Structure 1
Amino acid sequence: MLSELPLATLDPSELRELRETVRAAATESGYPEAVRGLESSPTGFDADLWRLLAEEIGLAAVGLPEGIGGLGGLAEILAVAEELGATLAAVPFVSSTVLAGQILAACGEPAAGYLERIAAGEVAGPAITDSLGRWDPEGISCTLVDNAVHGTVRFVPFGASADFLVVAARTDDGVAVVAVEAASATITPLPSLDFSRPSATATFNGALAVVLSTSGEQAVTDAVDITLLAVGADQLGGAQRCFDMTLDYIKVRKQFNREIGSFQAVKHRMADALMLVEMARSGLEKVTWGPADNLGAEASVIKAWGSDSYNALAAEAIQLHGGIGFTWEHDAHLYFRRARYDAAFLGDAVMHRERLARLLDW
């Protein structure tokens, strides 16, 4: 899968401009502060921001095949995911463009029409996970019989806003990848700790499906691995933001007539935090600029480390901001929410350490 996805198509200066464009679009749309307003939203989806990013900037096509208007490769995917993670933008780039898009890209010509819809900005909901929100072929709950899907999938990202669903369904011959129009499924929104990362339950009662691949297990596995890298980039962007805003705060907050950043205990905590951030960055740069010998192992390492690091940085940001860090008005809790969501998405750190051990025959 990764051999078909270019590592990069932009040079470093162009990649930097892409980052600046994505960051500016999100911040000018009010993020991360705008996340608070999504608490009462029925979908948790910022359609206006996604329209800007997808249609005017072209982010919905990043990493997709050139034949359907796609652009960029892995470096571009990770750059976009990192900037969206830093701003907590409520858009389905990781779930629709990356996860669903990479699954469909591996299905070849039968999926071309659906890829074009994603590239145009439509939202695809990946319905592939087990009851705990992980990708586990043995845990697939949907079945495909006579081009009709039966079953229920929990934790479909942005499911309530999806135009169509990309479903992993079991058949007598293995795992099939099919597409189902959202109108043919029953979609039930789920409460989410992170207001900007909504999920839903999708129930299929004989929903008519378009079969895209009858042997899709490896396609989904490879797409999940690329998505884990994108989640790692989202975690890096959020963790870096937590570090930066905490560093800014300890330079101006005073106790005993001294900036608290001058206290040795605080310095040590910030040094530990920086190490977590830079180790996460190093892991992503390793896979960005050189082909991975074992994509699954690299993806699990990045997801496990990113989950632990982001959780730690988000908690440290709250603690070192003192009383204000616990308030609704401060952004610290918004990053804490995203850290928790990212840690659980597609399997937690414990699961990925166990997967790493299996992949490396430990």
Structure 2
Amino acid sequence: MPTAVIRTAAALRADRRTLLLAAGTVMSAFAIGAAVQTAWVFGNQGGDVPVLARIGANLTAVVAMLVILAVTGVSLPQRGALTMSAGVLGAGVTASGVRFASQLLLDVYVDPPQRVIVAELASGATVAWIAASMGLAAMLSQRRLRLEVTNAAQDRLRIELALQALQHEEVRVRREVAEGLHGSMQQRLVLIVARLDGLLGGLGERATEADLTILREVRAEIETVREADVRATSRMLYPDQLEVGMVPAIRALLGRIPTAVNTRLGVTDEVRVLDDPTASRLTRSERLLAVRVVEEAISNALRHGRAEVVDVRVSLVDDSLELRVSDDGRGFGDEAGVPSGTARLADRLRLAGGELRVSSVPGDGTQVVARLPVESLRTAPL
């Protein structure tokens, strides 16, 4: 049976249960309380009131009202306001009639006058209608609350789906641009350098030394752009080894750091299983965001902190990746603020349901701790 049908059936049962429970509780309280009060009042006046018979007749009316409410389907969601009101009124009037008939059968009244009949029927119908109306109000309140919860859950789902689509699109664009930079642009720059080499070789003595110097400087500048700017931008957009896995991409990132900086990488066994290249359970968006956190933290450590030691730890905490990047740099105080790139990453992590914390003490290094939820771990254990 489809899940939606099961949920609908469960909701209908919950609505009917709320209606009957609330209406039955209110009317039972009236039934017992009214019988006891009548017996006490008439008993003080010297009369003889059959209390148990009155309670029995009143409880019979309660049962009759609940049966009518259940059989007529007042709780069905397709019922309109007019239909529900008519059903509640009909249940109250019928229950009142059943109550008075039970009173006659149980000898609560013997040949009662018309005014007693009218009073008993009117009071019984009024009490039953009030009880059924309160049950209906409780049911409708529960239905509205359930609808609000369902709408809120659907809104969250739409937001999550939109965010996932944006993340996938970002990864796709990053990869295409990075491949374009690494491929076609680098090839064009290589061809330009080759043509310059040919030009330098062919000019010989026909060009002045100053012209040759300018051409050599242009060639060197193009080589610098190709090696440094184009490759660096390509790696920033889509890190090396990211297709293989998050850990290889972080390792490749650390491998490009100058040897004067001591780097350490610690990865738990759970993360290695999660990031297994043969069956990775991390999406490309999750891998990219994790590597970007490490990259931003290392960049700040080297650029601003002048760190000599950088320590990267990747572990699994509940259903989230935890990335810790520590350095022994100069650190910063509260007045310095968090770098803009780190602030943007923090916003990005919050959108993904994670968080990023930066703690630093002047002269005592900086620690960046990021939590990134892993979608595959939310539905299935590792």
| Structure with greater proportional strand content | 1
Task: Give the structure with higher Rg (CA).
Answer: 2
* TM-score scaled by length of structure 2: 0.23
Q: Give the TM-score taking structure 1 as reference length.
A: 0.24
Q: Which has a greater percent of helix?
A: 2
Higher relative contact order (CA 8 A, sep 6+): 1
